[in-house]
Amino acid sequence: MLETIKKSILTGVGLALRSKAEIEELAKEFAENSKMSQGEAKQFLNECQQKYEDAKEGLDKKIETAIEKMLGKLDLPTRSDIKRLNQRIDKLTEKIADVKKD
């Protein structure tokens, strides 16, 4: 039963949507209420923190991917596109300056 409850608390997206402080407080409360030993409670808190970080990272990647898709559909230039264009403009400006010198 305890393992089932622990796994429920460690569910990915639910953790990602909560703040780190909320997760730590929830884990501490759970550890106290379930009468875990100090070592078990510390391990459980560490597991919660790691799962939180993993879930947050996964959610961040999904959001980033969704934004990139949306920007792609809008057909907006990327930072690398603009950088490449600026480099071409710089080269053309140099060529024009060279031609004017001659």
User: What are the pLDDT digits (tens) for 32-68?
Assistant: 777 777 777 778 778 877 887 887 788 788 888 888 7
**pTM of this prediction?**
0.46
Residue keyed to tokens 């001659």: 102
What is the spatial distance between Cα 47 and Cα 6, in angstroms, rounded to a whole number? Answer: 10
CA dihedral 41, 43, 44, 49 (to 10 degrees): 120
Q: What is the pLDDT of residue 81?
A: 92
